[in-house]
Amino acid sequence: MGAKSVAEKLRVVLVRPEKPRNAGAVLRAAANFGAESVWVAGDTQWDAENLREVRVASSGAWDVVGGLRFVQTVAEAVKDCALVAGTTSRHRRNVPTPVSPREFMMSAGTHSGPTALLFGPESKGLAAADLALCHATIRISTRASFPSLNLAQAVTVVLYEAALVRGGADAKPNEKLASIGDQEEILAALEAAVNSTGSPLPRNRELVLAQLRRMLQRSEPTEGDISLLRNLGKRLKKR
């Protein structure tokens, strides 16, 4: 049996989506290209009529993909993922340099473990706090004078590129990347250790933590790396 496409380990995360019919069209794209699941993150209050609209727009894909999974936060949606990428059409500060969908998928194909793709709300895109959880950002090449795409169109383009990339042959099963949840645990433990010295992080705490998070993400720590850091933290705590 041939290697699976990268799309088959992808979790599509719609962050605070505004239009149910777009979520339905995203489900259809996920079914077309074999994405693992579609999640909705954020305080999205959709009633039975909204969900009916999602089902209709999905053209039967609701049952193929298994519907939508709703969670309250982006962090909850990606906590068990090894890689996270966010889509953006704007230039942002303090985020990874955007790459094309194909470039990201080629990289994702060399790793095992689930990968999350974040897509922001239709009117605003992803917030800085959402992008802070991302190892990479993806930008779809479009006309500069009109760069924005419909949500479902953007998902379709990215999943198409993922379906073209075969994973497995070059994957690193012995170097399983640590999940976002594990990385956030280490950051919290590091902050607690600093606070215990009597000299807590400065007033720009969030900026310092963001820089530490980015440094950790760039290193692509494995589960073994996180285990080592966790054990060192326990030893320091005993002193």
- Structural domains of the chain in order of their starting residue, each with its CATH number: 6-164 (3.40.1280.10), 180-238 (1.10.8)
**pLDDT (tens place) for every residue of the chain, 239 residues total:** 455 678 888 999 999 999 999 999 999 999 999 998 999 999 888 999 999 999 999 999 999 999 999 999 999 999 999 899 999 887 777 778 899 999 999 888 887 778 999 999 999 999 999 999 999 999 999 988 888 889 999 999 999 999 988 754 444 545 677 888 888 887 787 777 777 776 777 777 777 777 788 787 777 788 788 777 777 776 666 66
Q: Tokens at residue 171, please? A: 């994957």
Burial of 149 (0-12, 13-18, 19+ CB in 10 A): middle
Instruction: Centre a 10 Å sphere on the Cβ of residue 5 and count the other Cβ atoms it contains.
Output: 21
Count of CA atoms in the C-beta half-sphere (13 A) of 184: 14
Residue 220 and residue 179: Cα distance in Å, rounded? Answer: 10
Beta bridge partners of 5: 166
Instruction: Centre a 10 Å sphere on the Cβ of residue 73 and count the other Cβ atoms it contains.
Output: 15
